[in-house]
Amino acid sequence: MLRVGYPAAIAAEFLRDFPLEVELIPLPDDLDHEVEIDVWLPGVFPAEARRLWPHLRGVRLVLALVAGTEWIPPITGPGVTICNTRGAGNIAPAEWVISAILATLKYFPFYLDVQRSGQQWAHRAEANDHYARITGDARSFYPSVTVEELTGKRVLLVGHGAIGQEIERMLTPFHVELTRVARTARATPLVHAFGELDSLLPQAEIVILILPLTAESRGLIGRRQLALMPQGALLVNAARGAIVETDALMDALNSGRIRAALDVTDPEPLPEGHPLWSCPNLLLTPHAAGTCPQFTPRALAVALHNLRRYLAGKPLKNVMQTAI
């Protein structure tokens, strides 16, 4: 019987569709003895997976519950096949990206600060000052500026996989001017290559990062790229923190050059007292964009589909590493 190890934190109700010909082995985070399994469904947190791996024996197949699997090969080595759950977690992070953009452009963090301070709404006039300061637009507006619009903005979407395509779909009603960038250029739809990024950044009012962390993408957005972005541009990172050089980002935020919305950081988790916490023009969430109530059933459904294929001797889907 095939032995499948899974995070013990997953409730049994989510596992009821697994076939009878497999034995499900719950793996607690504090596992302290060796366990023999054939298939491993690691949890979503790398630190937990690293603690578990030394106690696991016989693993031939890893069915990750996430799309980003770059952290798994350093744990397991090359001797296992690794599959991800591409397509299962598209909606929540795409919604986070749209929400983060709208929250920033509608000045929700500012208005929440005013609300919590118990001050009068007369302070809303400061929103106009913020707009002038961050965008460099010093024109006199009547009435004064209290929000900005997403509609019609020039958006640079860096990463055009399953989540990137979902973000594009959600942006469609806003009639943005969308430019796509990915590792490899494509003609239909038009997708530019990474090598063209520097020439595209100066026209981008919003830059969205939703690409895997690889040797090529690590540090893709550094000091030069941030300087190329227009005054007041919004950088949205829902990918991996190390795609952006943190020191360069903090300098750009502190100088009032750009604004940012981050669900990921480098380092992560962000240590207490790190200077990024206090940067202005920043909306920060704790890598929470994808963990909605629908996450577990969707991820398990993709993993289960691959498990059934494995049992039937069929080729696996979403293979990120083939065992050597």
Enzyme catalytic residues: 240, 268, 287
Integer Cα distance of 131 and 212 in angstroms: 33
Maximal CA-CA distance, the chain: 74
Look-up: residue for tokens 């969707």?
298
Report the C-alpha gap between 319 and 324 in whole angstroms.
13
DSSP 8-state assignment for residue 191: B
Omega of the bond leading into 42 within 30 degrees of 0 (cis): no
Q: Of 187, 98, 100, 111, give the one whose Cα is nearest residue 146.
A: 111
Both tokens of residue 192? 């530019």
Q: Is residue 192 helix, strand or coil?
A: strand
Contact 96, 285 (CB under 8 A): yes
Taking the C-alpha atoms of residue 206 and residue 259, their distance in angstroms, rounded to an integer, is 10
Burial of 143 (0-12, 13-18, 19+ CB in 10 A): exposed
The count of C-alpha atoms lying within 13 angstroms of the C-alpha of 97, restricted to the half-sphere facing its C-beta, is 29
Please name the residues in contact with 313: beta carbons below 8 A apart, sequence gap of 6 or more: none
Please spell the DSSP secondary structure of 292-313, one letter per residue. Answer: -TTHHHHHHHHHHHHHHHHHTT
Radius of gyration over alpha carbons of the chain, in Å?
A: 22
